[in-house]
Amino acid sequence: MRLIIAVIAGGLFGLGLHLSGMTDTNRVQGFLDIFSAWDPTLAFVMGGAIVPMAVAWRLTAGRKPLVGSMFPSRPSTEITRRLVIGSVLFGIGWGLVGLCPGPAMASLGYGGIPGVVFLVAMMVGMAAAPRVSQILDRRTASA
């Protein structure tokens, strides 16, 4: 049952990304280019995701999910060095390529070689992140 729900949710998420234009790299880069041909449509997509999620956080308090042991806890609101560095790297990659992990996965079927190259590079970065984080933590501790 859990796998079926995951496949349905993933399919709906991918369809939503495609229909909203989040898999169109030109639209994403147009949204990020605030000094030129700014395309504000993705702001509505983000708002359409943030508002329901805020409601969901409220509704799930004290409840148990149908599938799984518990809902994830709320993320920390603390702004850390790790959060800032990760956000900057994510933003640079998003701005250069016009894709982030969700839309990259959703566009694999029609994104061609550039989509596959991006996905492989993203996976390499994700695999390297724990090691790089350890190195940075050691350097900070010794400074």
**Which of 37, 42, 24 shows the shortest CA–CA distance to 99?**
24
pLDDT for res 78: 92
Average pLDDT over the chain, rounded to an integer: 83
Question: What percentage of the chain carries pLDDT values higher than 70?
Answer: 99
Return d(Cα 38, Cα 113) in angstroms, integer.
Answer: 27
Question: What percentage of the chain carries pLDDT values higher than 90?
Answer: 3
Say which residues have a Cβ less than 8 Å from residue 17's Cβ, sequence separation at least 6.
Answer: 23, 102, 103, 106
Q: Residues 23, 107: contact at Cβ < 8 Å?
A: yes
Please check the confidence at residue 124 and state whether its pLDDT lies above 80.
yes
48's tokens:
């359409």
pLDDT for res 57: 82
pLDDT digits (tens, 9 = 90+) for 65-104: 877 788 877 778 899 888 888 888 888 888 887 777 888 8
pLDDT digits (tens, 9 = 90+) for 36-67: 888 888 888 888 888 988 898 888 878 888 77
Does pTM top 0.85 for this prediction? no
Please check the confidence at residue 111 and state whether its pLDDT lies above 70.
no
